[in-house]
Structure 1
Amino acid sequence: MEKIRMLSTLGLMGAMPSLSSAFEASTGIHVDADFAPTLALLKRLRDGEAADLVILTREGLDEMIGEGRVVAGGAADLARSFVGIAVRAGQAHPDIGNESALRKTLLAARSVAYSRLGASGVYFAQLIVRIDIAAEINAKAVIVEQGFTAERLLSGEADLAVQQISELKQVEGIEIVGPIPHELQMPAVFSAGRMAHAKHAEAADRLLRYLASSEAVPVLRQSGLEP
């Protein structure tokens, strides 16, 4: 069976198992997927790691196209992702309905977990500067290098976890309070492109077309993404 290697941002981790198996069933091509935050993937690609297809934030993909690592033609935006806030299951859901409520909730939390290398962490770091609470939040933040911030709710290290909704959904035993208010959001766009030195270029193109097709839409939506 032909195999293709895919490196993907964590945002697609929820949708990929069923998308990969549907693709494999119809084409006989196996997808070997590895997931990490975009900034970690960019470093690995620059260090020479090989892949056939990559899914990154749009900004990350554009950098890779600019460096000649990813083919510009055929690159496709797959989905938008919104950042949300979660609590441990059974905890009261705090008010995050508007900017002042969100500010109060973040200041009142004992600690807030957010990621350093993912798109959500980059965005959240800018957001707390914008609403003027960066010093207070960072003094009590749990910064997660890789993986899912909501796991810090289960370990008791944090009261609130901030990440893409599609990533929060990967963790059992937590509840998503909701998205950060829309007027404060800068949704991440996840985009796919074929590597310039792909060993399985044709198979990678087929997978890319499938991921960008209407067939993938319900699966993306169910995983917390907006196709």
Structure 2
Amino acid sequence: MKYQNWFVPVLLLGGSYSSFVGAQEITVMISGGFSAALDQLAPMYQQKSGDTLRIIHGPSMGQSPEAIPHRLESGQAADVVIMVGYALDKLQQAGKMTPGSRIELADSRIGAVVRSGTSVPDISTPSALKKTLLEAKSIAYSDSASGQYVQSELFNKLGIADEVHQKAKMVEKTPVASVVAQGKYEIGFQQVSELLPVKGAKFIGPVPDSLQYVTRFAGAVVAKSSHQQHARQLLCYLASAQAKADVEKTGLDALTSTVADCPA
């Protein structure tokens, strides 16, 4: 799914969970790595809380109009942002987030996909991964944190940067698995949680541990939000023990919150 400049509403299912008076519409800006987890948890959360979630997708960084920092800088309203941790650092430093509202949510690892129905290559060891990449006719990687690592470090660690330079391409705005599913690239790399939901692509496994790069996803309340408590409650729920199983189903390593302001 391409990042687009439009809202993705999630239906209100009713019910009551919140101790705060009055249901609210909470606008969430979110990057790809945690999106599948939010999709899993949103209906349940809305049923319990009574709030409605309005979800805007966009990358954690970059210069595109869809990028979360650009959206906020241009004055688009939001209550919560969920994105790559070090990109969130910059928004905090710029005073865009409510102090003390940040909650660590999950860690994401890099994996690979090929087109469904094609042979599955071996990437289980550094030597196997190197062989697979050298033999691949084309390689895709994302324009996010995982892709920057693949481009600037992974190829160098494997000693094949020069050999793959012409056939390895950064895919902008579009999930890597979708272009692999279309047959545009033979193999693609991105965070596991972004690869798994894409139909037509076969997940072949994570990058070996010795070459792995872990991306932290975190959330915070937007300083200008008029729904501070409701926004905080959503983040607490996403980091709670009851949300852990659904988060991990999407390929993430959940981090349950120990923040004092969150209910036990």
Q: Same fold (TM over 0.5)?
A: yes
Corresponding residue for 1:6?
28
1:34 partner SS? strand
Deviation at 1:9? Answer: 1.2
Which residues of 2 match residues 57-76 of structure 1 at below 5 A? 57-76=84-103
**Separation in 2, partners of 1:12, 1:145:** 18
**Separation in 1, partners of 2:234, 2:165:** 40
* Aligned match for 1:119, one of 133, 140, 145: 145
Corresponding residue for 1:216?
243
**Separation in 2, partners of 1:138, 1:115:** 15
* Aligned match for 2:48, one of 26, 32, 49: 26
Contact 2:34 2:83 in 1 (8 A): no
Unaligned runs of 5+ in 2: 1-22, 62-66, 255-264
**Separation in 2, partners of 1:177, 1:111:** 16
Deviation at 1:42? Answer: 2.3
Deviation at 1:149? Answer: 0.5
Which residues of 2 match residues 1-227 of structure 1 at below 5 A? 1-39=23-61, 40-116=67-143, 118-126=144-152, 127-227=154-254
Corresponding residue for 2:257?
none
Give a deviation string over 1:94-151, Cα, whole Å, max 9, x none.
11122222111111111011112x1211121121133332233231123211121011
The one-letter amino acid paired with 1:210 is Y
**Separation in 2, partners of 1:45, 1:206:** 21
Deviation at 1:14? Answer: 1.2
Contact 1:76 1:193 in 2 (8 A): yes
Moved more, 135-144 or 145-154: 135-144
Unaligned runs of 5+ in 1: none
Give a deviation string over 1:10-39, Cα, whole Å, max 9, x none.
011211123111111011101111122211
Q: Aligned pair in 2 of structure 1 residues 132, 72: CA closer, same or farther (>3 Å)?
A: farther
Give a deviation string over 1:189-214, Cα, whole Å, max 9, x none.
10010011112111101101111111
Moved more, 6-15 or 39-48: 39-48
The structure with the larger Rg is 2
Aligned residues: 226
Structure showing greater relative contact order (alpha-carbon pairs closer than 8 Å, 6 or more residues apart): 1
TM-score, normalised to structure 1, is 0.94
TM-score, normalised to structure 2, is 0.82
RMSD in angstroms over aligned alpha carbons?
1.4
Percent identity, aligned pairs only, is 35
- Higher-helix-fraction structure: 1
The one-letter amino acid paired with 1:18 is Q
1:14 partner SS? helix
